[in-house]
Amino acid sequence: MEQELKLLKEREVEQLNAGSGYETLLKDGIPLNEHFIALKNKFNKEKEAEEKKMWNIEEDIKHEET
């Protein structure tokens, strides 16, 4: 029970820190378009990795079916 409570508190702190990301985008002095480009690149990399995982899972399913 105590561990679950501790994990929930840690998740809450992580979510609060993630929410403050917009504020740091504006305060660090880097142009917003640079941030958008970085976010777009990060999204594309993560999307590509997830698509690759899905493809591998689909291939495993096909392999198991045969």
SS3 per-residue string spanning 7-63 = HHHHHHHHHHHHHCHHHHHHHCCCCHHHHHHHHHHHHHHHHHHHHHHHHHHHHHHHH
Confidence of residue 18 (pLDDT cuts 50, 70, 90): low
pLDDT at 32: 78
Confidence of residue 6 (pLDDT cuts 50, 70, 90): confident
Q: What is the pTM of this model?
A: 0.52
- Ordered by start, the domain boundaries in the chain are 1-29, 31-66
